[in-house]
Amino acid sequence: MLRTAARCLPAMLQGRAGLTLLVLATSALTGCWTAPVASMQPKGEPRLIQDAIAVQSLKSPAIVRSVDTGARSIVLSAPGDSAAVTYRVGPEVRNLDRLKVGDTVRTTITEELAVYVLRDGRLPVPGGVPEAIPTDARVLSVDPSYRLLTLRFPNGHTETLKVDRRVRLDAMAAGDEVVIRPVEVVALRPRK
């Protein structure tokens, strides 16, 4: 029966009806693929996979909430976001004294990631009460060949980060929880 169908397929695809059938079948098949969603529960026992993963990311735009030139620190937030994050400002940033509250800037930021497998947002503690771990994002995908880690944030935003060779990407999977610690602003440009 399968051979008969295979021989009849070219005849079925002739004419307007066949073309319509081919377009519908192609559309149906391509509609079956969906992007990975990091809402699944990761595999394995709850644990810390790796901590202190240094990454650099571009934050653009960011709004200056406060500047302390003496302490070389800056508080930034994303437009429309009330949450603000405090960063150290690296010595390579020279224009810190020209910034004022409300300025919009492009920044390159160094952050550290910690990647966990959690159960219900908790990490078991041997002989104790499971520790709640407040996370900032989830792993959406891992690409070991290019050393890329794609994260999805609660607001739906995704960000792909290039990681060092020492990062254990082989132990990470979609759904793993990520804690992000701000470290330092390494570049800062006013946005016009």
Instruction: Determine the 3-state secondary structure of 6 from DSSP.
Output: helix
The mean pLDDT of 8-14, rounded to a whole number, is: 53
Residue 38 lies in a domain: no
Residue 139 lies in a domain: yes
The mean pLDDT of 39-65, rounded to a whole number, is: 84
Given a cut of 90, is residue 141 above it in pLDDT? yes
Q: What pLDDT does 125 receive?
A: 80
112 is written with which tokens?
Answer: 């550290």
Q: What pLDDT does 119 receive?
A: 85
Of the chain, the percentage scoring pLDDT greater than 70 comes to 78
Q: What is the pLDDT of residues 176-191, one digit of tens each?
A: 999 999 899 998 888 7
Residue 62 lies in a domain: yes
Q: Which DSSP string do the residues of 22-68 spell out, in sequence order?
A: HHHHHHHHHTT-----TTSPPSSSSEEEEEEEEEEEEEEEEEEEEEE
Given a cut of 80, is residue 160 above it in pLDDT? yes
Domain span at residue 158?
A: 47-190
Q: What is the pTM for the complete model shown?
A: 0.70
Strands (E), 118-176: 122-123, 131-132, 137-143, 148-152, 158-162
Measure Cα distances from 167 to 26, 42, 105, 123, 139 in Å: 40, 18, 30, 21, 14
Residue 131 lies in a domain: yes
Residue 121 lies in a domain: yes
Q: For residues 188 and 95, is the Cβ–Cβ distance under 8 A? A: yes
The mean pLDDT of 115-132, rounded to a whole number, is: 86
Give the chain's domain count: 1
Q: What is the CA radius of gyration of the chain?
A: 24
H or E element: which one contains 21? Answer: helix 15-30
Residue 19 lies in a domain: no
Residue 137 lies in a domain: yes
Residue 178 lies in a domain: yes
